[in-house]
Amino acid sequence: MNRYKMLGWKFKPVAPKQAIRVNVMNVEGVNVVERLERLGFKLEKIHFIERGYWVKRSSFSIGATIEYLLGYYSIQEAAAQIPATLFTDLKGKTVLDACAAPGGKTVQLADLMDNTGVIVALDVKSRRLNALANQLERCRVKNAIVYGLDAREASKLGVKFDRILLDVPCSGNFAMDKDWFKRRTIDDVHRNARLQRQILAEAAKVLKTSGEIVYATCSLEPEEDELNIDWAVKNLGLKTVEINCYGEESPTEIFGKRLDSSVRNCRRIWPGETQGFFVCKLERQR
């Protein structure tokens, strides 16, 4: 908690709100919000996400409706809805979702692409691949191809990508796990940060010249966030891009270390309206 204070945030316990995202590709002529409200759910528009709603009241699980089974919406935490929206011009593109399972963001990408182009979705764990396939099936995604492959081996595919989503494995945050402080050590954070750098390096290899990478974590630890982006800018020939989204500008001095000034383009989301989150958009340096 002291680390967060050093980054300028005063710790406060939070209870994240459940959120949904409407899959526009599946709801032509259907007013999903109205139908859910008729079932007794109270929804509130998420002010920073076009297709997102917070579930303010529910008498039963939001995942136990026919509308959910029909793929009309996905259950997706509000901050987690941000990364896919940061790409420009997704339709018809070749997109890599490097750590795709359980598939919430893959479905969101398909929705934003209106099922055009190609999404190559990777995940390394076979059990998680089943969850991913279930999501794709439920939401009637038609433009994805799924491989059981480690994101650190993406270049084995021999494909160059226009857009790459790196929703990398991370340490998580206390807002989503009440025992987080008991269960995590700084060694875990460092281990994840190393893995994330390896994934970033592989993504840089398979990115087209004019391509875009969106890097996201649900970690509040700078080693997994700003420090990794600083490293990527200095070592991978990437640069950060200004983004206009919910969250605070990232600090460029962390625990006494001065970072590349462009790291301020990243967004750090402290827990409050959402869980803790970090997001950044990268392009090749020209």
Partner 1 sequence: MFASLKGKGENMVETLESFAKFFGVKISLNKNFVRKGNRYFLLDERLRALAKEISGWQFAGAYLGKNKNGKFYPSSLLLFMITDQAENKIIVDDKAAWLFVCGRDIFKEGIMRVYGSKTRGAYTLVLNKHGECLGFGRITENLDEAKEGVVVENVSDIGDFLRRERTPKQ
CB of 204 to partner 1, least distance (A): 20
CA gap 260, 86 in Å, rounded: 22
**CB-based contact 285:237 (threshold 8 Å):** yes
CB of 216 to partner 1, least distance (A): 23
Pairing of strands 248-249, 267-269: antiparallel
Binding span for partner 1 by CB under 8 A among 15-23, 139-147, 163-171, 202-210: 139-147
Binding span for partner 1 by CB under 8 A among 145-153, 198-206, 213-221, 268-276: 145-153
The two tokens of residue 270 are 């402290």
Restricted to residues 76-135, the positions that interact with partner 1 (CB under 8 A) are 117-118, 120, 127, 129-134
247 — phi, psi (to 5°)? 125, 170
| C-alpha distances out from residue 176 to 179, 189, 276, Å | 9, 16, 8
CA gap 268, 8 in Å, rounded: 11
Q: 116 or 235: whose CB is closer to partner 1?
A: 116
CA gap 154, 92 in Å, rounded: 21
Burial class, 221, CB count within 10 angstroms (exposed 0-12 / middle 13-18 / buried 19+): buried
Q: Which of 157, 195, 241, 245 binds partner 1 (CB under 8 A)?
A: 157
Restricted to residues 6-65, the positions that interact with partner 1 (CB under 8 A) are 30, 63-64
Q: 127 or 286: whose CB is closer to partner 1?
A: 127
Active site residue 245: no
160 binds partner 1 (CB under 8 A): no
Choose the catalytic residue: 170, 218, 266, 280: 218
Q: 142 or 178: whose CB is closer to partner 1?
A: 142
**CB-based contact 280:266 (threshold 8 Å):** yes
The residue ranges that bind partner 1 (CB under 8 A) are 30, 63-64, 66, 69-71, 117-118, 120, 127, 129-134, 136-138, 140, 142-149, 157-159
Catalytic annotation, residues: 218
